[in-house]
């Protein structure tokens, strides 16, 4: 796809990243982005650009994640980590309301929790995660026109071995569509110096760029950025089988492969918690010792938890086989019917962070191989 | 019944750590004392009121013939019987005797082994009497204990999820020690409840809360094996506070004899 020719583009130096953070803070945003902690790249508040993972890359494979040093000093030379923007958009635990008993009447009146909205600026959102934010908002029925966090996206030049965004159509670039970000960066580390090509996505993005020292983007920088993304596309770690996954999964309900994967699956739920689009929650009420105070909490739940399918009389999906099948079938198949797209953006988190390294692309390929071609396609 | 519900705390073979958790509820202790009548709790008070009790909290495992009888009496006097901790729910660390010869041990340790009257096995309370709820942990978690007491007072189900430690680890935003550091961790097969304390300090889970429901221990054994752990070491991972829980007992046996595994 050709990059949009109408978008405003500029070039900033690597040092100017700090000015971007200063401009965001001055505009009332709280910048959050990638930082190194406990030998991984996680998301946290950014005080300055020095907090970003300069010169740190990642090495991933099924069930495996390690940091490595990069000789090019790239700031965004890593692929996705154990966390995603979901932790800000859809936190692991959230109080919905609390209620106290009125001593006179004995009644309860629920008090909604006064949430002070934080104006986040998400810095370093990968193209797969841009797509994930869209999908998550749709699943949570969030108002698409409401003012969301400021988004500084970064195109990917060095996909991880567990990435397959080219198969899901969500990366490794994001500037061709011009959607979902306020500013998009492409990191240039070549002989012309460490710079970023900036593509403006929105008016508020333009005003941040205006507050930062920048130069008009030379055509050569645009061409280099385009080449970096095209090369990244050619170096994807993984691919999805080239078939209609909805049809494949609909026909695979009785496949023997589910027994095979269930023997390896720990049913630990890590895949769903690291997935940037898995949104399931449970809602629970608590009371205190006096019985005069009650609270309602929403917290992350998972189709891998036996109690998630608990209905009157018992749980419906007691076997790990049925739970794994539920997850994969929903994510890649029935998600289309429910939300009009796949639930997967090819970020590869579930592959790297599955302790036993179960690989969704491999499982889908195995299903594809065993299902009769004429019935699957 | 008039007045406040009567709560009693009983000890069997144990270290007292779990009942100590009750005294550890500093901020909530006054509210608790307001809400219930502590009828029997020798660690806290000399006062001991006779039963029946509305709620009995039972710590410890059954290791002597006397205790096997005493738990029957506790059960008979208690409307609800909640067992707390790895000893009461799985036999505790002392259940390692179940895998050896207790007579041999007593002969090696005591000058007069004939003074020792003990059972060959350390067993959980539920092996002897019906139990209304099992609260896991070595020791139990303070917040979970309060939740269980509160739930029984309110007549509702305790909110104690039976799932893996990984849920708590990820909800806290911790980095997986197995995936990112290659550290052996029992989290994926261990019952949640501790709040993922050990991974928060970059340690693998020790399995203090025992097996999670449906734990796939063969898959974890295979992973530990790939991480370079020897069969003996893997067997020992499962041979701690919950060694005699059926899932972990089987896992240590499977790990020690990998060729017999399915
Ligand atoms: S696929 Fe992996 S991460 Fe997901 S539940 Fe199974 S073992 Fe856990
Ligand atoms: S299913 Fe896996 S690869 Fe797809 S979006 Fe979720 S975590 Fe990423």
Which residues in chain A show pLDDT less than 70?
Answer: 1-5, 372-377
Crossing angle between the packed helical segments A257-264 and A320-329, to the nearest 10 degrees = 110
Tens of pLDDT along B75-119?
999 999 999 999 999 999 999 999 999 999 999 999 999 999 999
Residues framing ligand 1 (Cβ under 6 A): A 265-271, 304, 354-356, 358
Contacts of B187 in chain A (CB under 8 A): 268
Helices (DSSP H) in chain B: which residue ranges? 17-23, 26-35, 65-77, 85-90, 102-109, 142-154, 165-171, 177-181, 197-200, 217-226, 231-237, 246-256
Looking at the partner chain, which of B32, B166, B176 has a beta carbon nearest the beta carbon of A289?
B32
Determine the residue of A266, A278, A305, A332 to mutate for testing ligand 1's pocket, defined as the one with the most ligand atoms within 8 A of the Cβ atom.
A266
Query: Which pLDDT score is estimated for A284?
Result: 92
Q: Does residue B259 carry a pLDDT above 80?
A: no
Query: Which pLDDT score is estimated for A3?
Result: 47
Determine the residue of A262, A354, A363 to mutate for testing ligand 1's pocket, defined as the one with the most ligand atoms within 8 A of the Cβ atom.
A354
Tens of pLDDT along B188-234?
999 999 999 999 999 999 999 999 999 999 999 999 999 999 999 99
Instruction: Give the pTM.
Output: 0.94
Looking at the partner chain, which of A64, A92, A290 has a beta carbon nearest the beta carbon of B179?
A64
Instruction: Say which residues have a Cβ less than 8 Å from residue A160's Cβ, sequence separation at least 6.
Output: A58, A59, A60, A78, A79, A80, A237, A348, A352
Query: Which pLDDT score is estimated for A301?
Result: 97
Which of B171, B202, B219 would best serve as a mutation to test chain A binding (most A beta carbons within 10 A)?
B219
Which of A289, A309, A359 would best serve as a mutation to test chain B binding (most B beta carbons within 10 A)?
A289
Tens of pLDDT along B116-139?
999 999 999 999 999 999 999 999
Domain ranges of chain B: 6-154, 165-260
Tens of pLDDT along B21-72?
999 888 888 889 899 999 999 988 888 999 899 999 999 999 999 999 999 9
Domain B6-154 has CATH 1.10.540.10: no
Q: How far apart are CA B252 and CA B231, in angstroms?
A: 9
Q: Does A40 touch chain B (CB under 8 A)?
A: yes
Q: Does residue B260 carry a pLDDT above 90?
A: no
Looking at the partner chain, which of B150, B175, B189 has a beta carbon nearest the beta carbon of A38?
B175
Contacts of A64 in chain B (CB under 8 A): 179
Report the pLDDT averaged over residues B153-177.
95
Q: Is the ipTM of this complex over 0.85?
A: yes
Tens of pLDDT along A167-224?
999 999 999 888 899 999 999 998 889 999 999 999 999 999 999 999 999 999 999 9
Q: Does A351 touch chain B (CB under 8 A)?
A: no
- Annotate A84-103 with b (16+ C-beta within 10 A) or e (fewer): bbbbbbbebeeeeebbeeee
Helix (H) and strand (E) counts for chain A? 14, 16
Contacts of B220 in chain A (CB under 8 A): 266, 355-356
């Amino acid at each position: 796809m050709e990059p949009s020719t109408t978008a405003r583009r500029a070039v900033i130096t690597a040092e100017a990243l700090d000015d971007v953070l200063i401009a965001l803070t001055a505009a009332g945003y709280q910048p959050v982005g990638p930082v190194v902690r406990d030998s991984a790249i996680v998301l946290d508040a950014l005080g300055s650009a020095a907090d970003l993972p300069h010169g740190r890359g990642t090495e991933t494979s099924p069930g495996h994640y390690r940091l490595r040093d990069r000789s090019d000093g790239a700031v965004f030379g890593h692929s996705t980590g154990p966390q995603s923007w979901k932790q800000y958009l859809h936190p692991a635990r959230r109080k919905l309301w609390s209620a106290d008993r009125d001593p006179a009447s004995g009644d309860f009146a629920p008090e909604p929790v006064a949430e002070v909205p934080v104006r986040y600026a998400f810095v370093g959102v990968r193209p797969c995660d841009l797509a994930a934010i869209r999908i998550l908002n749709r699943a949570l029925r969030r108002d698409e026109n409401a003012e969301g966090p400021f988004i500084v996206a970064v195109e990917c030049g060095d996909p991880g071995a567990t990435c397959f965004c080219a198969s899901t159509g969500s990366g490794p670039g994001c500037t061709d569509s011009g959607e979902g970000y306020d500013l998009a960066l492409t990191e240039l580390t070549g002989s012309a110096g460490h710079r970023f090509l900036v593509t403006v996505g929105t008016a508020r993005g333009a005003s941040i760029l205006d507050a930062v020292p920048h130069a008009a983007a030379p055509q050569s920088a645009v061409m280099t950025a385009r080449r970096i993304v095209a090369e990244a596309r050619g170096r994807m770690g993984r691919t999805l089988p080239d078939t209609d996954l909805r049809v494949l999964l609909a026909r695979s309900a009785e496949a023997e492969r589910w027994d095979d994967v269930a023997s390896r699956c720990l049913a630990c739920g890590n895949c769903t918690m690291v997935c940037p689009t898995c949104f399931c929650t449970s809602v629970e009420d608590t009371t205190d010792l006096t019985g005069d105070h009650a609270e309602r909490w929403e917290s992350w739940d998972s189709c891998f938890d036996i109690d998630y399918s608990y209905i009157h009389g018992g749980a419906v999906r007691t076997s790990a086989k049925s739970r794994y099948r539920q997850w994969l079938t929903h994510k890649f198949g029935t998600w289309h019917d429910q939300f009009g797209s796949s639930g997967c953006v090819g970020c590869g988190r579930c592959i790297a962070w599955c302790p036993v390294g179960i690989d969704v692309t491999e499982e889908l390929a195995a299903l594809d191989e065993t299902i009769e071609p004429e019935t699957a396609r | 019944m008039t007045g406040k519900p009567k709560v009693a705390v009983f000890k069997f073979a144990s270290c007292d750590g779990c009942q100590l958790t009750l005294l550890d509820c500093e901020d909530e202790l006054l509210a608790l004392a307001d809400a219930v009548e502590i009828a029997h709790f020798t660690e806290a008070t000399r006062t001991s009121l006779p039963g029946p009790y509305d709620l009995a909290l039972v710590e410890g495992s059954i290791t002597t013939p006397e205790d096997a009888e005493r738990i029957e009496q506790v059960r008979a006097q208690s409307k609800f019987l909640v067992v707390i901790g790895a000893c009461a729910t799985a036999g505790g660390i002392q259940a390692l005797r179940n895998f050896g010869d207790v007579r041999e041990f007593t002969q090696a340790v005591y000058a007069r082994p004939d003074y020792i009257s003990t059972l060959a096995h350390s067993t959980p309370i539920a092996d002897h009497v019906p139990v209304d709820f099992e609260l896991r942990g070595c020791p139990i978690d303070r917040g979970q204990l309060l939740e269980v007491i509160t739930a029984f007072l309110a007549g509702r189900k305790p909110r104690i999820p039976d799932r893996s430690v990984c849920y708590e680890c990820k909800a806290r935003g911790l980095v997986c020690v197995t995936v990112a550091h290659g550290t052996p961790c029992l989290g994926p097969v261990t019952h949640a409840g501790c709040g993922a304390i050990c991974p928060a300090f970059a340690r693998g889970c020790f399995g203090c809360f025992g097996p999670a429901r449906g734990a796939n221990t063969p898959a974890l054994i295979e992973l530990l094996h790939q991480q370079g752990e020897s069969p003996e070491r893997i067997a020992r991972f499962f041979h701690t506070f919950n060694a005699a829980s059926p899932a972990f007992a089987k896992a240590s046996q499977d790990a020690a004899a990998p060729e017999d595994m399915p």
